[in-house]
Each structure stands twice: as C-alpha cells, then as structure tokens.
Amino acid sequence: MFRGTAVLTLTLLVVALVPFVGPIAVIMTPLPILYYRFCLGGMQGLAALAVAFLLASGILYLMGHPAHIWAFVIIGITGVALAETLKRGYSLEKTFAIASLILFFSGVGFVLYHALQAGVAPWRIVEMTIEATIKNNLALYAQMNISEDQIAMLRENTAEITRFFTEIFPGLSISGAILTVWLNVLAGRALLRTRIGGFPDFGDLALWKAPDKLVWLLIVSGSMTLAPIQVLDTIGINVLIVCCLIYLFQGLAIAAFFLRQKRIPVIFRGLFYLLIAVQQYMVIFIIAIGLSDLWIDFRKRITGVKDAPV
C-alpha cells in the first residue's frame, strides 16, 4: 500500500508540474489507479488513492501551485470506474461505454462548475479555453521558425477556428474519453492479466469488429452534415467523429491481425503504429479499412477462416 500511495502521488505531481509531459501523461494516469485497485483490493486501493490525492494537493499548495483538484478528481473517478467496470466482467463494448461515459460526464461537470463560478454559459468556457490554446500555439509556432504568413493566416482566422472546434468539442471529448479508456485497458491487460487474477479476458482483440448496424448511424450522421440547418449539421459532425473513431479501432484490429499473420518483427510493428499516430493520412486509411471490412472481410481473406467478434 505504501508503494502504491507513493506511485499514485508521483503520478499526480507529474501531471500537475511537468509542462510538456503532464498533458500527455494525464491520458495514462488512470492506469496506476487501475493497477493498484486490482493489486490492493477495493478498500485499500481507494485508501491509497485518497492519501495520494491529499499528499499531492498538499505538496502543490506548499509549492505555491494551484491544487488541480478537479483534474485529480476526474483522474480518480476514471481510474476507479474503469477498475470497477472491469471487475464486473462486462463485455468489451459495455466496459468501454460505461467507463467512457463516466469520464465524459466528469468533464462536463468540470465545465459546468467553472461556468457557474465565472457566471457565463458553459460553451463560453469551452470557447475561451480553445481560444487560449490557439494563442499559446501561435506563440509556440513563432519560436519554431514557422513562416510569418502561416502564423498571420492562423491569427486572422482565430475566431473561425475557435468556432469550429467549439462546435465539434462534444465529439472530440467523447472520442478522447474512449481513446483514454482504450489505452488504459490495453496497458492494464498487459500488466495485470499475467500477474493479478480477475482481469477479464476479452479474447483476441485482433478479431474485434464493430456492430454491423453502426454503418447506418455513420450514414445518417454523414447525411446530417449536409443539412442546411446548423443544429443538424453540428449534431451530425459530432456523431460522425465518434463513428470514425470506432472504425479506426476496427481498422487497427485488422492491421494487428495482418501483422501477426505475416509475422512482422515487433520493431516494425511499432514503427507502423507510430506512423499512424503522427500521420493523419494513415489514420484516414485505417478508418477506411475498418469501414470497408463490413463488405470485404479482410481477416477471412487473409486466413481463409471466418473471423469472430470478441
């Protein structure tokens, strides 16, 4: 329990204090909470998290930094919810849905809280956050020797960029929650399945496929983006973002299946996944593979046997 408390405290401090690592590491912060909830059990795991929460907040207060209470609360809720969902042995889809929605609505609560404090509309909080992020990026671009013309173009279109990202913020937030759960489940599966009992066996994830009926939601949402009514267009593009993420997962499952069948060395697999992470055209290609699998059935063609859902 002492080691778990120390690791959790250090994790929270890294998120709060390290400028570049913190925002990236926050995606994986539910992992140590998940790990020690399985290792220590329910009550001891919660006790370790509570002590780490108090220690990290106290250290930040003594250092003169903001306490990041809401960020810590969201991290804690996500880790605990994911651990409890996994312990109940739900299906992969139900596990993702429950944990992702809990994370998403925790974020919604965070926005509403700050909106009430500031006395403004919730979407105005989102707008201000996006606008501040764009301005910070512009300042960073100026230090990276990016051409003045590109920076000037971005500066002139700041209002339009802010409005666009505000409109798609719900879809991006839900997708971010799903992606966070996905990464932590994969990492937790690797850490816990061979060491600690109780972690659910989701089967061969390379065989996973999205429900066939999801394609209709994709078609409807895509059609809504063409509607002349702004509300329908906004709803459509947000739903479309989430659908594309799900088909991205299916495309990644197909890619993992192909790489395994062809016995591609691990280092080249890693380079392939890195290319997907940094190259947007590869992301679009993988999404297209996942969507077209509904008609082509790539895994059946690769092996000559029928694939099966997890």
Per residue in 91-137, pLDDT (tens digit) is 888 999 998 998 899 888 888 888 888 888 888 888 888 888 888 77
The pLDDT of residue 172: 92
- CA-CA distances (angstroms) from residue 81 to 27, 46, 53, 129, 281? 15, 11, 16, 27, 34
Q: Name the DSSP letter for residue 28.
A: G
**151 within a domain of the structure (yes/no):** no
**161 within a domain of the structure (yes/no):** no
Q: Is the pLDDT of residue 250 over 60?
A: yes
Name the band, by pLDDT with cuts 50, 70 and 90, for residue 308.
very low
Considering the domain architecture, whether residues 113 and 37 belong to the same structural domain is answered as yes
**85 within a domain of the structure (yes/no):** yes
Distance, C-alpha 2 to centroid of its chain: 29
Considering the domain architecture, whether residues 210 and 306 belong to the same structural domain is answered as yes
Considering the domain architecture, whether residues 213 and 82 belong to the same structural domain is answered as no
Which range among 10-24, 215-229, 231-245, 273-287 shows the weakest confidence by mean pLDDT? Answer: 10-24
Name the band, by pLDDT with cuts 50, 70 and 90, for residue 173.
very high
- The 10 Å Cβ neighbour count of residue 103 is 25
**174 within a domain of the structure (yes/no):** yes
What is the identity of the amino acid at 119?
Answer: G
Considering the domain architecture, whether residues 188 and 285 belong to the same structural domain is answered as no
Distance, C-alpha 116 to centroid of its chain: 26
**247 within a domain of the structure (yes/no):** yes
Q: Is the pLDDT of residue 279 over 80?
A: yes
Q: Is the pLDDT of residue 38 over 60?
A: yes
Please say whether the beta carbons of 70 and 26 come within 8 A.
Answer: no
Which among 181, 200, 222 has a CA at the least distance from the CA of 33?
Answer: 181
Residue that wins the pLDDT comparison between 33 and 241: 241
Name the band, by pLDDT with cuts 50, 70 and 90, for residue 197.
low
Structural domains in the chain (count): 2
> pTM for the whole thing?
0.85
Q: Is the pLDDT of residue 68 over 70?
A: no
Residue ending a domain, choose from 178, 199, 220: 199
The whole-angstrom separation of Cα 234 and Cα 240 is: 10
Please say whether the beta carbons of 220 and 232 come within 8 A.
Answer: no
The pLDDT of residue 200: 81
Average pLDDT, rounded, for the chain: 83
The pLDDT of residue 285: 94
| Mean pLDDT value of segment 170-186 | 91
Q: Is the pLDDT of residue 11 over 60?
A: yes
The pLDDT of residue 214: 93
- CA-CA distances (angstroms) from residue 230 to 160, 224, 249? 15, 10, 29
**210 within a domain of the structure (yes/no):** yes
Please say whether the beta carbons of 284 and 251 come within 8 A.
Answer: no
**72 within a domain of the structure (yes/no):** yes
Residue ending a domain, choose from 199, 218, 243: 199
- CA-CA distances (angstroms) from residue 27 to 22, 48, 76, 224, 233? 9, 20, 12, 31, 30
| Mean pLDDT value of segment 175-180 | 92
Considering the domain architecture, whether residues 1 and 57 belong to the same structural domain is answered as yes
The whole-angstrom separation of Cα 207 and Cα 302 is: 12
| Mean pLDDT value of segment 56-73 | 73
Name the band, by pLDDT with cuts 50, 70 and 90, for residue 193.
low
What is the identity of the amino acid at 218?
Answer: L
The whole-angstrom separation of Cα 295 and Cα 24 is: 37
Considering the domain architecture, whether residues 112 and 217 belong to the same structural domain is answered as no
Domain span at residue 225 reads: 203-310
Name the band, by pLDDT with cuts 50, 70 and 90, for residue 75.
confident
Name the band, by pLDDT with cuts 50, 70 and 90, for residue 228.
confident
Share of the chain above pLDDT 90, in %: 27
Residue ending a domain, choose from 184, 199, 214: 199
Considering the domain architecture, whether residues 181 and 237 belong to the same structural domain is answered as no
Q: Is 167 exposed, middle or buried (0-12, 13-18, 19+ CB in 10 A)?
A: middle
Name the band, by pLDDT with cuts 50, 70 and 90, for residue 87.
confident
Name the band, by pLDDT with cuts 50, 70 and 90, for residue 304.
low
| Mean pLDDT value of segment 62-77 | 72
Considering the domain architecture, whether residues 214 and 257 belong to the same structural domain is answered as yes
Angle value at C-alpha 289, between 288 and 295, nearest 5 degrees: 100
Beta strands (DSSP E) in 54-100 are none
- CA-CA distances (angstroms) from residue 212 to 51, 138, 288, 295? 45, 42, 15, 10
**143 within a domain of the structure (yes/no):** no
Those residues whose C-beta lies under 8 Å from the C-beta of residue 127, and which sit 6 or more positions away, are: 162, 163, 166
Considering the domain architecture, whether residues 194 and 68 belong to the same structural domain is answered as yes
The pLDDT of residue 310: 39
Considering the domain architecture, whether residues 70 and 219 belong to the same structural domain is answered as no
Those residues whose C-beta lies under 8 Å from the C-beta of residue 272, and which sit 6 or more positions away, are: 255, 259, 264
Residue 307 — φ and ψ, nearest 5°?
-80, 160
Considering the domain architecture, whether residues 181 and 271 belong to the same structural domain is answered as no
Considering the domain architecture, whether residues 83 and 39 belong to the same structural domain is answered as yes
Those residues whose C-beta lies under 8 Å from the C-beta of residue 106, and which sit 6 or more positions away, are: 73, 74, 77, 78
| Mean pLDDT value of segment 224-234 | 89
The pLDDT of residue 125: 87
Q: State both tokens at 134.
A: 């764009």
**CA quadruple 278, 79, 251, 172: dihedral, nearest 10:** -60
